[in-house]
Structure 1
Amino acid sequence: MPKFCANLSWLFPELPLMDRFKAAKEAGFDAVEVLFPYDCAAQEMRDQLVWNSLTFVLMNYPPPNATGGPQGFAAVPGLEDRFRRDFDRALRFAHVLKPRHIHIMAGVADGPEAEATFTENLRWAAARAPGQSLTIEPINRHDKPGYFLHDYDTAARVLDAVAAPNLALQFDAYHAHRITGDVPGAWAAHGHRAAHVQVAGFPGRHEPQGGEIDYPAFFARLDAEGYAGWVSAEYAPAAATAEGLGWLR
């Protein structure tokens, strides 16, 4: 089976965030991700990671988004200065938290100018933080209306244009199903670009079991192809988190 990590922004919602690290470890996870850690003291979160022997896999950029801010602006023309300023802020958090990946969110935009802006901002960010792995993720427009990066061909085109060794694809199987209806096909075409994978069931975005996505087959394929990255459980538990972890075992 692949290496699984817990998305603490989604799992264990019955607990305060700082208590979720211990809960994840006790549930069998050796790694976690937190989408927007910016409302917490970075060192306090780092302490939780160390005390519970957890790898920190991923966080999102930009801050803040959890309180209703824009869902990114890397592809929004005219906001280049804000992109660069807030990217440096994210790097200060990353210096303490040491995430394997920072996911750069594109935001709401459309058209060739937006793609050019996204490409140039990513090129700048990759050069700004050459030792930090960065990812971009196609997100379906049903869940995030107007989101710029909503298909895999665009993601591939942008990745090829930037051509940075520290920029890769973030492949969310739930979004892939929403976008294409064909997770195996999307992975076959684009999985070689992926540095990080996320999973959730469909429909409902609950546990990755049953439903329309054949996760046993998907996990077996990741193993067969030698995928070495983490697979994040990014879903809304149907009940108490621990009760729904049968898929993990």
Structure 2
Amino acid sequence: MRFSANLGFLWTELPLPDAIRAAKAAGFDAVEFHWPYDTPAAEVLAALEETGLPALGVNTIKGSGSGLSALPGEEVGARVAIDQAIDYARAIEAEAVHVMAGFAQGEAARATFVGNLQYACDRAPDLTILIEPLNHHDAPGYFLNTSAQAREIIAAVGRDNCKLMFDCYHLQIMGGDLTRQLKACAGVIGHIQFASVPDRGRPDAGELSYDHVFAVIDLMGWDMPLGAEYKPGGDTDASLGWMARYR
């Protein structure tokens, strides 16, 4: 298995270019970001080129909640956020943009989300546009909660570059049965992330067996780095004992 360091959670005490260097020194194969926008893209790109690590993706900004793209009446702000993320992703040569839905419910929210995703996909046919279900304990009221709902939204968007961010942590909480969920979603997955359940810590603890989950992912033929989006609970380097086990 290959792994990507999510620098929204790992080495957060470091400036972003130094966090990229730390991920390289620790043996990661790629990096990914939440909201890197306070760091000039040129500085991030320089660190990526120095280390040789690819950037897998960035998120759209959260706004006042956890995104704007499913909020009726916020289409202008949502598309400004989409444009910002696309431009930054291109500047650092990243592969994907995660379009965050926000807190909303109902058919109007669904239509708004689909329209904004179509805008993102058409604006950036060179990038993968990701959507991610979030669990209702960490993000109560978030529009997108399940992989089945995400598959329906992706079908409605009707663009080949709209894909699912399959976060094992969130989807284990939202029903579990990850083996069947992975197989059902195989054709629309654009990125996979992981953390322990229920505390979102390092993956070699908690209720979820990543020995099994990673074996299933491997048998699916998945060959992209898996995103380590977990809370290290202190020093990141001290939390990395799991890497040798799962490689």
Preserved CA contact (<8 Å) 2:196 2:204 = yes
1:82 Cα offset (Å): 1.5
1:74 corresponds to 2:73: no
The AA in structure 2 aligned to 1:197 is I
Residue aligning to 1:206: 201
- 1:21: Cα distance to partner? 1.0
Q: Does 1:118 align with 2:113?
A: yes
Range with greater deviation from structure 2 (104-113 or 226-235): 226-235
Counterpart secondary structure, 1:157: helix
Check conservation: 1:106, 1:118, Cα contact below 8 A.
yes
**Does residue 89 of the first structure (1) align with residue 89 of the second (2)?**
no
**What residue in structure 2 maps to residue 190 of structure 1?**
185
CA RMSD of the aligned region, Å?
1.4
Q: Residue in 2 aligned with 1:32?
A: 31
Instruction: Say whether residues 1:57 and 2:52 are aligned partners.
Output: no
CA distance in 1, matches of 2:88, 2:49: 16
Question: Is the 2:70–2:103 Cα contact (8 Å) retained in structure 1?
Answer: yes
User: C-alpha displacement at 1:132, in angstroms?
Assistant: 1.2
1:127 aligns with 2:122: yes
Q: Which residue of 2 is the match for residue 219 of structure 1?
A: 214
Following TM superposition, where does structure 1 have runs of at least 4 consecutive aligned residues deviating by more than 6 angstroms? Answer: none
Q: 1:124: how far off?
A: 1.6
What is the percentage of aligned positions where both structures have the same residue?
41
Which residue of 165, 170, 190 maps to 2:165? 170
Work out the CA distance in 2 between the residues paired with 1:90 and 1:244. 30
Q: Which runs of 5+ in 1 are unaligned?
A: none
Once residues 76 and 165 of structure 1 are traced to their aligned partners in structure 2, the CA distance between those partners, rounded to angstroms, is 24
Gaps of 5+ in 2: none
Q: Give the structure 1 partner of residue 132 of structure 2.
A: 137
Mapped to 1, the partners of 2:23 and 2:100 lie a distance apart of 26
The TM-score with structure 1 as length reference comes to 0.93
- State the Cα distance separating 1:243 from its structure 2 match: 1.8
Amino acid aligned to 2:11:
F
Distance 1:186 1:19, change over 3 A: same
Does structure 2 retain, via aligned residues, the 8 Å contact 1:133–1:166? yes
- Please give the secondary structure, in 2, of the residue aligned with 1:37: coil
Please say if 1:232 is aligned against 2:236: no
Aligned length: 244
CA contact (8 A) 2:29 2:225 kept: no
SS of equivalent residue, structure 1 residue 218: helix
C-alpha distance in 2, partners of 1:169/1:25?
Answer: 26
